Amino acid sequence: MEAHLLEWLNLSVRWVHMITGVAWIGASFYFVWLENNLNRVNPKDGLSGDLWAIHGGGIYHLEKYKLAPPTMPDNLHWFKWEAYFTWMSGVALLCVVFYLNPTLYLLAPGSSLSGTEGVLLGIGSLFAGWFIYSFLCDSALGKRPALLGLILFVLLIAAAYGFSTVFSGRGAYLHVGAIIGTIMVGNVFRIIMPAQRALVAAIAEQRTPDPALPAKGLLRSRHNNYFTLPVLFIMISNHFPSTYGSHYNWLILAGIAVAAVLVRHYFNTRHNSQKYAWTLPVGALAMICLAYVTGPKPIAEVAKAPAAIEYQPLPETALGGGEKPVAPAAPAAAPAPAQATVDFDKVHGVIQARCAVCHSAKPTSPLFSTAPAGVMFDTPTQIQQQAARIQAQAVASQIMPLGNITQMTQQERDLIGTWINQGASTH
């Protein structure tokens, strides 16, 4: 029952995070599009431009003031809660997924950190990321946006590398995304909203608004706009183990982030000029190159499968997030001809002992009430049908079992990999 309730808590928080994130990102994209499409030819007095648009069967006329209208309207919509709820639901999701059981999802197998230390590092990184970013923006670098952007990129990738040494691949990626998300909501809460309040207050008091504050808010808003696509990738990255599961996951994240920023830059500038049209094919080429370099490498064939592997029942603490048990010693493999065919019975034994505790119609692990993602290994046919997924997640990237709670050995991974390379026969 506990696992079932946790699953629904995960679903509820994740759904709220997605809904509010769509609202926030949608508003960000729309206002950047609006800014780029304003008609600035001979605007009316006090205006910087206007735009006519049609949507949903209606025609709209939007006007942008250089600073503000002479008097404030009675009803003025503020865009803030989308950002705030996205961040709050994101932090809640971090707690549900990673912090409730850090030894399972957050920490890499063999990490030097304890669960508590991992949680403290994760939370501390969010605040450290914001203060470092804000300091750099308020420094002289704030007047050199290209150099500032490069330094921020290097620092974020350095964080990704540091996380990858102690966190799981998923944990490392999601915490980089959480740092960026904290920076984005910090921009809204600490810079953009105060600038807008100061503008409204100045108009209400019939004094000239300070143009420096809206300009600062616009700069931070543009930062948020360029952060958006990398964050969106990180949000869906847990579905793609060839990225976060790679030994060079931090470099892969860097490559995808560069491609995302290039694509975003094209859409931010295409209305005024096509001189950045080259960013689209370059971004596409970057993704193709990343797909190539992250492809599965040939697995060295196992000379001979272990004659017999004794599987000992794992302590319940290993499946429920307590201390991890010592891996059962696997007998050494004797040399044999390179082309020896792997017996499926041996593969079946490994998968039943290491994988089927979770991936079964009736999981024995207290972590799950149903098989994760509906993947089950109860029968030889089910195992054969999932051979490609097993290859990707248990052999190539080795992200499964989660936290290696069932202590799958490298010898066992090689055994499964060789069986798959030989055609994944169940006979």
In a domain, 48, yes or no: yes
Say yes or no: 241 and 101 in one domain: yes
Say yes or no: 227 and 323 in one domain: no
Determine the 3-state secondary structure of 424 from DSSP: coil
What range defines the domain where residue 366 resides?
Answer: 316-421
Q: How far apart are CA 81 and CA 262, in angstroms?
A: 29
In a domain, 301, yes or no: no
Pick the last residue of a domain from 293, 326, 348.
293
Say yes or no: 183 and 112 in one domain: yes
Say yes or no: 252 and 357 in one domain: no
Listing DSSP states for 315-339 in one string gives PHHHHHTSPPPPPPPPPPPPP--TT
Say yes or no: 114 and 181 in one domain: yes
Say yes or no: 118 and 153 in one domain: yes
Task: Return the exposure string of 192-207: e unless at least 16 CB atoms fall within 10 Å of the residue's CB, then b.
Answer: bbebbebbeebbeeee
Pairing of strands 58-65, 47-55: antiparallel
In a domain, 356, yes or no: yes
- Stated as kind and residue range, the H or E segment containing 399 is none
So what's the pLDDT on residue 327?
45
Closest C-alpha among 350, 401, 398, 397 to residue 375: 401
Closest C-alpha among 328, 334, 333, 381 to residue 353: 328
So what's the pLDDT on residue 118?
94
Pick the last residue of a domain from 229, 258, 293.
293
Number of folded domains that form the chain: 2
Q: Is the peptide bond between 281 and the residue preceding it cis, with omega within 30 degrees of 0?
A: no
Cα radius of gyration rounded to whole Å, the chain: 26
In a domain, 239, yes or no: yes
Pick the last residue of a domain from 238, 258, 293.
293
- Stated as kind and residue range, the H or E segment containing 100 is none
In a domain, 304, yes or no: no
Say yes or no: 255 and 320 in one domain: no
Say yes or no: 149 and 264 in one domain: yes
So what's the pLDDT on residue 188?
94
Determine the 3-state secondary structure of 117 from DSSP: helix
CB 73 within 8 A of CB 203: no
In a domain, 309, yes or no: no
CB 49 within 8 A of CB 64: yes
In a domain, 175, yes or no: yes
Angle at 164 between CA 176 and CA 246, to 5 degrees: 105
So what's the pLDDT on residue 339?
55
Q: How far apart are CA 303 and CA 382, in angstroms?
A: 26
Say yes or no: 8 and 115 in one domain: yes
Token digits for 44? Answer: 């009316």
User: How many CB atoms are located within 10 Å of the residue 173 CB?
Assistant: 26
Closest C-alpha among 152, 27, 167 to residue 104: 167
**Tens-of-pLDDT digits for all 427 residues of the chain?**
566 788 888 889 999 999 999 999 998 888 888 888 899 988 888 899 999 999 988 999 999 988 778 788 888 889 899 999 999 999 999 999 899 888 888 988 788 899 999 999 999 999 999 999 999 999 999 889 889 999 999 999 999 999 999 998 899 999 999 999 999 999 999 999 998 888 888 888 878 777 777 778 888 888 999 999 999 999 999 888 888 888 889 999 999 999 999 999 998 888 777 888 999 999 999 999 999 888 766 544 433 444 344 444 444 444 444 444 444 444 444 444 455 788 888 888 898 888 888 898 888 877 677 777 778 888 888 888 888 888 888 887 777 887 677 888 888 888 888 898 888 888 8
Q: Is 423 exposed, middle or buried (0-12, 13-18, 19+ CB in 10 A)?
A: exposed
In a domain, 128, yes or no: yes
Say yes or no: 142 and 272 in one domain: yes
Say yes or no: 196 and 333 in one domain: no
Q: How far apart are CA 256 and CA 234, in angstroms?
A: 10
Say yes or no: 389 and 340 in one domain: yes
